[in-house]
Structure 1
Amino acid sequence: MEQSVEALRAIPARMCAAWDRGDATGFYADFAEDAELVEFEGSILRGRAALVAANQQVFDTVMKGSRLVRGVVPFARVVAPGFGVVHHRAGILLPGETEPLSSRYVMQLLAAVWQHGRWEVVTLQNARVVSFEAMTVLDDLAAAA
């Protein structure tokens, strides 16, 4: 395998397939042993084992049976030899739904390094895709609390 953009772009598709199976080990299979995850609310998890444990609990409870849909990779690039980034967007579809709520669209920025003969994700930052209108409503709720 080579340090190609195509190999970087393929990582989110494997992550989505694992999510759809409820498989946290598969979801983080392309992650380095010392990978870090920054969640949308700001919490930070460190180490692939911690990521797998936390997400398997989520897959087994609140996200059980959910799927990632409408996944796109707006960009992926090799920034320098041995270092690449991937931007991924998807919607979270819960069981019984035909379309994800607009509040359940996420975007992710993955930073990957070339090691052990493949791209390994070292950092993933999750963020919710939120409209300005929704942000205003959230601000009003926070101000009233």
Structure 2
Amino acid sequence: MITIDAEQEIRALFADLEDAWNRGDGDAYGACFTEDAGYTTFVGTVYRGRADLISGHRALFGSVLKGTRMFNEVTGIHFYGPGVAVVTGRGEVSRKRPGRLAKVQTYTLVREAGGRWRIASFHNTKRRPLLEAMSFRFVPDSAPRP
């Protein structure tokens, strides 16, 4: 049975994720993921496993992502049994809060043996509203239902 506690634990995981990013701490960021996590960035980079993810983010936090902040909005948490959840959201990384969160994200979470939720898979893509609107205009039936 899924409880309110499970949702609160997942939201706490996302708070930890955001905090680690904001501090530029690759190790703490990686600790939010499973040992064998898959991680796909919006530019198509794929990290395989926690160690790869940590190593990559240590380098990024020391250079192009230094001083950036993570801005997230969880738009849905869907449970598929007591130990699996899919979280959808919007997000952005910037030095200051952007006007809109342009990236669409999907996370697959698992509850590990010790009871802690971790991210097993992450996929990030940049939303293109103009292209999306054009697509819906030419193929109206392709638009998601409200």
Which TM-score band (shorter chain)? 0.7 to 0.9
| TM-score with structure 1 setting the length | 0.77
2:9 aligned residue: 7
Equivalence for 1:100: 98
Q: Which has the higher contact order (CA 8 A, sep 6+)?
A: 1
Identify the structure with the greater strand proportion: 1
Aligned-pair identity in percent equals: 29
Q: Would the aligned equivalents of 2:20 and 2:28 in 1 still touch at CA under 8 Å?
A: yes
Specify the alignment match of 1:140 in structure 2.
none
Greater mean alpha carbon deviation, residues 6-15 or residues 20-29? 6-15
Q: For residues 73-127 of structure 1, what are the alpha-carbon distances to aligned partners after superposition, in whole Å with 9 as ceiling and x for unaligned? A: 1111222221111123222222xxx44376x732321101121221121111111
CA distance in 2, matches of 1:133, 1:105: 13
Instruction: Identify the residue that residue 90 of structure 1 maps to in structure 2.
Output: 91
Residue matched to 1:31: 33
C-alpha displacement of 1:135: 9.8
**What pairs with 1:39-118 in structure 2 (closer than 5 Å)?**
39-69=41-71, 71-94=72-95, 98-100=96-98, 105-116=102-113, 117-118=115-116
Normalised by the length of structure 2, the TM-score is: 0.76
AA in 2 matched with 1:123? S
Match of 1:126 in 2: 124
Q: How has the CA–CA distance of structure 1 residues 60 and 134 changed in structure 2, closer, same or farther, with 3 Å as cutoff?
A: farther
Query: Hey, what's the Cα distance between the residues in 1 that align with 2:66 and 2:132?
Result: 26
Q: Give the paired residue count.
A: 130
SS in structure 2 of the partner of residue 4 of structure 1 = helix
Contact 2:13/2:118, CA 8 A, preserved across alignment: no
Give the alignment's Cα RMSD to 1 decimal. Answer: 2.5
The secondary structure found in structure 1 opposite 2:80 is strand
Distance in 2, matches of 1:48 and 1:33, equals 5
Amino acid at match of 1:84: A
Moved over 3 A (4+): 133-136
**Gapped regions of structure 2 (runs ≥ 5):** 135-146
Gaps of 5+ in 1: 137-145
